[in-house]
Amino acid sequence: MDKIKLVIWDLDETFWKGTLSEEGIQLISSNIEVVKTLTNRGIINSIVSKNTYTDAQEQLKKAGIWDYFVFPKIEWDSKGTLIKQVINQCQLREENVLFIDDNHINLEEASFHNPKLHTATPNFIPEILTHPAFIGKDDSSHSRLEQYKVLEQKSAAQKDFGDNIEFLRTCNIVVQEIVGDEVINHLDRAYELLERTNQLNYTKIRSSKSELIELINNPVYSTSLIKVHDTFGDYGIAGIYSHNTSTHTLLHFTFSCRILNLGIPQYLFSKLNKPAINIIPDVAEPIQYKRNVDWINWTNSNKAQTHKSNSSRNNLKVLLKGGCDLSQLTFYLQNKPFLIKEETNYVADNNFAIHQEHTQTLLNTVSLNQSVKEEITESKHIPFIDSNYFNTEVFKLDFDVFVYSLLMDYSQDLYQHKDHKYLIPFGSYNLSWDNEADHDQILADLKNRNLEFERESLQKFSAEFLNHGPISNENLIHNLNQIRERIPLHIPIILINGVEVESPHPAEYDLHFRHAELNASIDQYIMKSENVFLLDMRNIVTDQNQLTNNIRHYRRSVYQKMSVELVQLLNDIYDEKFPTDISTTTKWKDSTYEYVSPFIQLLKKLKRKIPI
């Protein structure tokens, strides 16, 4: 035997003298002390016994020892299969488990079903506390027992769910990252994870404490600890990773078996943008490159504390940039202590919708020289750009918070001028303006929308521009970095991502897959960026019925939920207690706004076009 982490006890003639269902039993006080001492050493105890559950439970409760056992299997069934169940539920390996029984047939049966299991008769019990396999470590607070009790509660609750993922979504699993100097403060736990963990140690690399300190201080590596909690309790520090940001490789990627089957390694691997990793078998929870984990929430306690303000933030200036549908946020936030300024799409004189939200458009406002801008805005064959196209409030910096929807990056194509090489975003439902085969359909669609555009102008556009398709993940992150550099770090940026449910629009049948890819990149960007946060639409829109005519437009209730989420984010950022109650209107007023909203938006758009 090497390290024993779990002892499974038979009851009759093993843990106690006698047979409970026959002549009665006599408790053995030394065995009770063994269980308590093992628990103090962080070693878990369980029961596999052929008895009536309630009768055995009653006896153990009287002895004050019942709560020291986890996943007890007290029933009239095969002990070998019951032992396998206990080991699986405790998320341990057979070689780290000892089963004690007075019956040799039971021991043989246990070994048949669990070949690497250690077995012993009651004669071995007096040797347990002095045997080197049972040294454990000090856990007089019983934190390890409490963690297994959490697993026990979760296992019981899970029986009500036919699908494990469905169950996990109800658990409110939260992963918290510990970074920077805080990692040093938990050096012993970091070392312990690497030294003792095998099942979820993906690289099997061990580091000494001195090596860990060097690694933590190495600027090339991002070394973090992972804390986990959910509805059932706190798992504590349950993981460590070291990411070489230069080569995008993982040196360490290790997790405690207490979080096995929660999907956390898969979630973190995707959040880190799937770095290269040399996985040394065996691992109990394989990484699947295409698997999506959507039941875990992420928080970075260090970042959250860095940017909190102790000052009152009444009349907080919030710049909201995105589609005009986001004006509904303003409606819900009208009674809050915020001064919200909107910068949304509008209608030009030719009735084309002018979208300025794309990251490329935003950067064009500061990167293109004036003559190029004039060439673009004065062109007669670029109908989706007008004289106001390059006007923006973003880089004037007259705001406290920048709330930015990225949906145009998720949906528009990029067209490059063949001579001047600048990029302008535009696009709609997979029709390419530089493809003559699409021209008939484009012109028909424009006519149906009462938009006048001649075939000759479309041909001129096609001759001058080349469609490069939608922005890549890498270029989106590059653009966001450029925008962050131009907005001072003390100003928080709240990004709004895209939903990942299938669109009701037939031409967007696969757009939710692109949303998922870009969302993963945004997750990675936010994790590495300072004072950047996420209003996560994946947590708000979970069903197609919450969409209206396409993947970017939502039912009224969604904007209400977005408003609540935005207020909660501002509370976290500024350590304030802005009320999250959005019940600012009666049902009549709310439903009326649903109908009149398009007219309000039209007035706002027209107002932007009237010189003041």
Confidence band (pLDDT; 50, 70, 90) for 605?
A: very low
- The average pLDDT across 507-529 equals 91
Q: Give the model's pLDDT for residue 304.
A: 37
CATH of domain 307-411+471-609: 3.40.50.1110
Over 90: is that where the pLDDT of 79 sits? yes
Decide: residue 9, CB within 10 A, 0-12 exposed, 13-18 middle, 19+ buried: buried
- Helix count and strand count (H, E) for the chain: 21, 22
What is d(CA 314, CA 458) in angstroms, rounded to the nearest whole number?
50
For residue range 354-380, list pLDDT tens digits in order: 999 999 999 999 888 888 999 999 998
Q: Give the model's pLDDT for residue 604.
A: 45
Over 50: is that where the pLDDT of 427 sits? yes
Between 227 and 601, the more confident residue is 227
Phi, psi of 431 (to 5 degrees): -95, 130
Q: Give the model's pLDDT for residue 94.
A: 94
Q: CB under 8 Å to 533, separation ≥6 — which residues?
A: 492, 493, 494, 495, 526, 569, 572, 573
Q: CB under 8 Å to 313, separation ≥6 — which residues?
A: 337, 400, 570, 574, 576
Tell me the CATH number of domain 6-141, given options 3.30.390.10, 3.10.520.10, 3.40.50.1000, 3.40.190.10: 3.40.50.1000
This prediction has a pTM of 0.49
Between 597 and 288, the more confident residue is 288
For domain 161-297, is the CATH number 3.40.630?
Answer: yes
Q: Is the peptide bond before 282 cis (omega within 30 degrees of 0)?
A: yes
Share of the chain above pLDDT 90, in %: 57
Q: Give the model's pLDDT for residue 428.
A: 67
The end-to-end CA distance of the chain, in Å, is 84
- The average pLDDT across 122-128 equals 97
- The average pLDDT across 387-393 equals 92
**571 by DSSP, 3-state: which?**
helix
For residue range 191-240, list pLDDT tens digits in order: 999 988 887 899 999 999 999 999 999 989 999 999 998 877 778 899 99
Q: Give the model's pLDDT for residue 305.
A: 39
Q: Give the long-range contacts of residues 517-523, CB within 8 A, separation 24 or more.
A: 517/473, 518/406, 518/409, 518/410, 518/473, 518/476, 520/270, 520/271, 520/273, 520/473, 521/273, 521/473, 521/474, 521/476, 521/477, 522/406, 522/476, 522/495, 522/497, 523/270, 523/271, 523/298
Over 60: is that where the pLDDT of 596 sits? no
- The average pLDDT across 293-307 equals 63
What is d(CA 297, CA 165) in angstroms, rounded to the nearest whole number?
14
- The average pLDDT across 147-151 equals 84
Share of the chain above pLDDT 70, in %: 91
For residue range 320-351, list pLDDT tens digits in order: 999 887 888 887 887 788 889 999 888 888 88
Confidence band (pLDDT; 50, 70, 90) for 607?
A: very low
What is d(CA 395, CA 277) in angstroms, rounded to the nearest whole number?
40
- The average pLDDT across 410-420 equals 93
Between 438 and 427, the more confident residue is 438
For residue range 158-194, list pLDDT tens digits in order: 665 555 777 788 788 899 999 877 899 999 999 999 9
Q: Give the model's pLDDT for residue 396.
A: 87
Structure tokens of 210? Answer: 């001195």
For residue range 503-513, list pLDDT tens digits in order: 998 888 889 99
The answer to whether domain 6-141 and domain 307-411+471-609 are alike in fold is yes
Over 50: is that where the pLDDT of 42 sits? yes
Q: Give the model's pLDDT for residue 161.
A: 55
Q: Give the model's pLDDT for residue 591.
A: 45
Over 80: is that where the pLDDT of 315 sits? no
Q: Give the model's pLDDT for residue 451.
A: 85
- The average pLDDT across 68-94 equals 92
Angle, CA of 217, 223 and 228, to the nearest 5°: 140
Mean pLDDT score across all residues of the chain: 86
Q: Give the model's pLDDT for residue 261.
A: 79
Q: Give the model's pLDDT for residue 299.
A: 75
What is d(CA 477, CA 471) in angstroms, rounded to the nearest whole number?
10
Over 80: is that where the pLDDT of 95 sits? yes
Over 50: is that where the pLDDT of 564 sits? yes
Over 60: is that where the pLDDT of 438 sits? yes
Over 90: is that where the pLDDT of 463 sits? yes
Q: Give the model's pLDDT for residue 23.
A: 76
CA dihedral (369, 373, 379, 383) in degrees, to 10, reads: 150
Q: Give the model's pLDDT for residue 133.
A: 95
Query: Of 207, 209, 215, which is closest to residue 186 (Cα–Cα)?
Result: 209
Q: Give the model's pLDDT for residue 182.
A: 86
Q: Give the model's pLDDT for residue 346.
A: 83
Over 50: is that where the pLDDT of 147 sits? yes
Provide the residue ranges of all domains of the chain, joining segments of one domain with +. Answer: 6-141, 161-297, 307-411+471-609
Q: What share of the chain is helix, strand, coil (3-state, %, to 5)?
A: 45, 20, 35
Are 298 and 172 in contact by the 8 Å Cβ rule? The answer is no
- The average pLDDT across 569-587 equals 70
- The average pLDDT across 36-46 equals 96
